[in-house]
Amino acid sequence: MLLSKIITKVHDKFPSVTLDTTQFAGEDIIHIQGSYNLDVLKLFRDNGFNFLADITAIDNLTLGGFERFAVVYHLLSHETAERVTIKAYVPEDQPELPSAESLWKTADWQEREIYDLFGISFKGHPNLIRIMNPDDFQGHPLRKDYPRLGRKERDDFPVVKRGINKEAAQ
Partner 1 sequence: MVQGADKPMDTERMVLNFGPQHPSTHGTLRIIMELEGETVIKGTPEIGYLHSGFEKLGEYLDYNQYITITDRMNYLSPLCNNVAYALTAEKLMGLEVSKRTEYIRVLMCELSRIADHILNVGMLAVDLGALTAFLYGFRLREDIYDLFEIATGTRLTTSYTLVGGLMRDIPDKFDEAVIKVLDNVDVVARDIETLLNKNRIWQDRTKDIGIISKEDAISYGLSGPMARASGIDWDIRVQEPYSRYEEFDFDVAIALNGDVFDRYLVRMEEMRQSVKICRQALDKMPAGDVMVDPDLGFSLPPKDEVYNSIEGLIYHFEITMRNRGMTPPIGEAYVATESPNGELGFYIVSDGGRVPYRVRTRPPSLMNYSIFPKLIEGHMLSDAPAIIGSTNVIAGELDR
Partner 2 sequence: MQPDDIKSNILTTTLESAVNWGRKHSLWPMPFGTACCGIEFMAVLAARTDIARFGAEAIRFSPRQSDLLIVAGRISIKMMPVLIRIYEQIPEPKWVIAMGACASTGGVFDTYSVIQGVDKFIPVDVYVPGCPPRPEGVVDSLIKLQKLVETEKFSDYSTTRGK
The residues of the shown chain that bind partner 2, judged by CB under 8 A, are 133-134, 137, 141, 146-151, 153-160, 162-170
**Nearer to partner 2 by C-beta: 48 or 141?**
141
Burial classification of residue 74, based on how many CB atoms lie within 10 Å of its CB (0-12 exposed, 13-18 middle, 19 or more buried):
middle
Among 7-15, 32-40, 89-97, 100-108, the segment contacting partner 1 (CB under 8 A): 100-108
In contact, 86 and 43? CB cutoff 8 Å: no
Q: Smaller CB distance to partner 1: residue 9 or 83?
A: 83
| Contact predicate 11/32, CB 8 Å | no
Distance CA 145, CA 140 (A): 9
- DSSP lists the bridge partners of residue 56 as 72
Nearest distance from residue 38's CB to partner 2, in Å? 32
Contact call for residue 2 and partner 1 (CB under 8 A): no
Instruction: Report the residue count for the chain.
Output: 170
13-52 residues in contact with partner 1 (CB under 8 A) are 24-25, 27, 29, 50-52
Query: Of 12 and 136, which CB lies nearer to partner 2 in the complex structure?
Result: 136
Strand runs labelled E in 2-155? 18-24, 27-33, 51-59, 69-76, 83-90, 96-98, 121-123
Closest distance to partner 2 from the beta carbon of 144 (Å):
14
Binding residues for partner 1, rule: CB under 8 A, are 24-25, 27, 29, 50-54, 56, 58-59, 62-63, 72, 74, 76, 78, 81, 83, 85, 104-106, 108-110, 113, 117, 130-134, 141-142, 148
